[in-house]
């Protein structure tokens, strides 16, 4: 069954009633500019915890892949022809409970993991909430917009941003954005 972008609420209702074994899901949602696969993954995992989710995305950056896997994704496939050709294997692996990464993404993740030149960024020290706030700031959202979206006070969001900045060793928003740009390149 295929659900278009406009049908996401219907997908959630469907999963509530009749969970599926494996769900193939795009990481970026064009119709929701501030939504990403991690937000959708959290919602689906709450609604249908037995459903295994494989992301299909052109945005196959190591930090995104690592976060998705940490949050319970069953796999990640790039949209390139070589990666897409592995879709049947990804579905089989997810169905039996394994995690699937296409060979090109596995190589990318291993290079990043074992790159001795890579400087520690402290990104792993951020709480899930702090990382989420930094991502939204990186996307251009203001503290007020984030507070509205997260149903939290602007002061709480500001405190989480300041905590993240301290952990990352940056002093201002420009440095925060530049650091996050650097991290996302790997």
Band of residue 110 on the pLDDT scale cut at 50, 70, 90: confident
Tens digits of residue pLDDT in 11-20: 777 777 877 8
Query: Which structure tokens are listed for 143?
Result: 């503290």
Closest CA to 94 of 59, 127, 54: 54
User: Which residues fall within 8 angstroms of residue 71, CB to CB, at 6 or more apart?
Assistant: 38, 41, 42, 45
Look at residue 122 in the predicted model and tell me its pLDDT. 63
Band of residue 185 on the pLDDT scale cut at 50, 70, 90: very low
Same domain assignment for residues 77 and 107: yes
Same domain assignment for residues 143 and 60: no
Tokens 């950056």: give the residue: 61
Least confident residue range of 1-15, 59-73, 125-139: 1-15
CA 98 to chain centre: 19
Beta pairing class for 52-57 and 22-26: parallel
Domain stops at, among 86, 114, 142 = 114
In terms of pLDDT, which residue wins out, 90 or 112? 90
DSSP 125: G
Residue 17 is part of a domain; what is its CATH number?
3.40.50.2300
User: Which residues fall within 8 angstroms of residue 153, CB to CB, at 6 or more apart?
Assistant: 147
How many C-beta atoms lie closer than 10 Å to residue 56's C-beta?
19
Look at residue 116 in the predicted model and tell me its pLDDT. 57
Same domain assignment for residues 105 and 146: no
Least confident residue range of 79-83, 97-101, 152-156, 178-182: 178-182
Tens digits of residue pLDDT in 65-86: 888 888 889 999 888 788 888 8
| Beta-ladder partners of 53 | 23
* CA 125, 131, 22, 12 torsion-angle sign: positive
Look at residue 133 in the predicted model and tell me its pLDDT. 92
Across the range 80-95, mean pLDDT stands at 88
Distance, in Å, from the CA atom of 75 to the CA atom of 112, rounded to the nearest integer, reads 18
C-alpha angle 184-56-23 in degrees, rounded to nearest 5 = 130
Tens digits of residue pLDDT in 143-174: 999 999 989 999 999 999 998 888 777 778 88
pTM of the entire predicted model: 0.58
Same domain assignment for residues 109 and 129: no
Same domain assignment for residues 10 and 102: yes
Q: How many domains does the chain have?
A: 2
Tens digits of residue pLDDT in 22-46: 988 887 765 555 556 777 788 888 8
Classify residue 5 by burial, with Cβ atoms within 10 Å: 0-12, 13-18, 19+: exposed
């Amino acid at each position: 069954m295929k659900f278009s972008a406009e049908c996401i609420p219907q997908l959630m209702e469907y999963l509530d009633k009749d969970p599926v074994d494996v769900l193939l899901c795009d990481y970026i949602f064009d119709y929701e500019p501030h939504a990403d696969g991690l937000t959708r993954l959290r919602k689906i995992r709450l609604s249908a915890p037995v459903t295994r989710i494989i992301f299909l995305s052109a945005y196959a950056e190591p930090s995104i892949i690592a976060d998705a896997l940490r949050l319970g994704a069953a796999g990640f496939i790039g949209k390139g022809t070589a990666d897409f050709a592995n879709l049947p294997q990804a579905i089989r692996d997810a169905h039996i409970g394994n995690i699937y990464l296409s060979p090109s993404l596995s190589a990318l993740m291993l290079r990043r993991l074992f790159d001795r030149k890579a400087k520690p960024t402290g990104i792993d020290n951020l709480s899930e909430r702090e990382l989420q706030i930094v991502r939204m700031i990186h996307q251009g959202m203001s503290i007020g917009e984030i507070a509205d979206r997260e149903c939290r006070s602007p002061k709480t969001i500001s405190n989480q941003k300041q905590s993240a900045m301290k952990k990352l060793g940056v002093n201002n928003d420009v440095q925060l954005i530049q650091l996050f740009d650097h991290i996302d390149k790997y």
